[in-house]
Amino acid sequence: MGAARDRRRTADAHVAGRARAGRDVHVAACPRRVRGRARPRAHAWPPSAAGSVRGSVPVTARAQVARTVELWRLFRNERDDPGAFYRRLAADAVAGFERRYGSLAGARIADVGCGPGYYTDAFRAAGAQVLPVEYDPDELRLAGEAPAGAVLGDAERLPIRSGALDGVFCSNMLEHTPRPATVIDELARVLRPGGWGYLSFTNWYSPWGGHEMSPYHLLGPERGVRWYERRHGTDHKHRVGENLFVTHIGDTVRTFQRHPDLCIRRVEPRYYPWAAPIMKVPVARELLAWNCVIRFERRR
């Protein structure tokens, strides 16, 4: 208990010190709540990017497809060389944020579920002030040394004071928590009004929903695991109900839509965002999206 309190105080001091120094896709503006009604309002940070809804992908169709092909090539070798895949994703994410919002220099960002820090490194290289947060200490050291300034913390109880951040980034962590709605509440809490968020996760019925157990997971969380273990044994990293949970796009989108402090800016398939229209089709998105990205803001 005392150690947890110390970690929370450390994180609060870190962030405070840095501070001192309905539709699923293509939501054009984050509405502001005024006396129970919604009023359109442009994005607040940075001012030069107000009203932008451009996604995180290259602007030409050829570049978008080339990106998808490159990511697929890197993903096929992800188990042997994870760094190449995740560093490419991190560079892509930062470039997309800079196209959407302008310079990230000085922005206060939490990398929630930071793992070995690929995204933390990329955001810091762009000048952002980043607090890496990770629940599992082993994940911090997957690539060697833990990222500088990393804090051990639970995404359901983030060790960050309310309203401290300009942005929250949460990549491929939601399917590893038993209470995703609580995580979303926490992401909203730590954002300042007008702050932005990025949440990605692997939806259960996607081709990779079972992680290393894919495609057996398509038989269901119980039957699929039994079949996988019959053929490959019980020594696997992810265990359904322990550190891997059934997560659906529709349920997650509805959680955001019901949240009083958040609004969705865009929902897209992470690896092929040019196919964002499929996210409007309830069954198709669960099967075809592979990995879902939800871009959102905290209402002002």
Expressed in percent and rounded to 5, the helix, strand and coil fractions of the chain are: 40, 20, 40
| pLDDT at residue number 142 | 86
| pLDDT at residue number 201 | 96
| pLDDT at residue number 40 | 31
Q: Which of 41, 61, 53 is nearest to 295 (CA)?
A: 53
Q: Which long-range contacts (CB under 8 A, 24 or more apart) does 73-81 make?
A: 75/271
CA–CA dist 210, 214 (Å, integer): 5
Residue 222 is assigned to a structural domain of this protein = no
Residue 265 is assigned to a structural domain of this protein = yes
Question: What is the domain-level CATH number for residue 262?
Answer: 3.40.50.150
Work out the burial of residue 124: count CB atoms within 10 Å of its CB; fewer than 13 is exposed, 13-18 middle, 19 or more buried: buried
First to last CA, the chain: 34
Q: How far is CA 246 from CA 175, 176, 218, 251, in A?
A: 7, 9, 11, 11
Residue 227 is assigned to a structural domain of this protein = no
**Domain total for the chain?**
1
pLDDT digits (tens, 9 = 90+) for 135-148: 999 999 988 889 99
| pLDDT at residue number 109 | 98
Residue with tokens 């040394």: 145
| pLDDT at residue number 30 | 60
Q: Using CA atoms of 261, 265, 270, 276 in order, give the dihedral in degrees to the nearest 10.
A: 140
- For residue 136, give its domain range: 2-203+247-298
Positions of the chain with pLDDT under 50 = 1-29, 33-57
| pLDDT at residue number 59 | 63
Residue 277 is assigned to a structural domain of this protein = yes
pTM for the full predicted model: 0.78
Residue 181 is assigned to a structural domain of this protein = yes
Beta strand extents in the chain (DSSP E only) = 32-34, 37-39, 108-112, 129-134, 151-152, 165-171, 191-201, 262-269, 292-298
What is the Cα Rg of the chain in Å? Answer: 19
Residue 235 is assigned to a structural domain of this protein = no
Residue pair 193/163 in contact (Cβ under 8 Å)? The answer is: yes
Residue type, 56: S
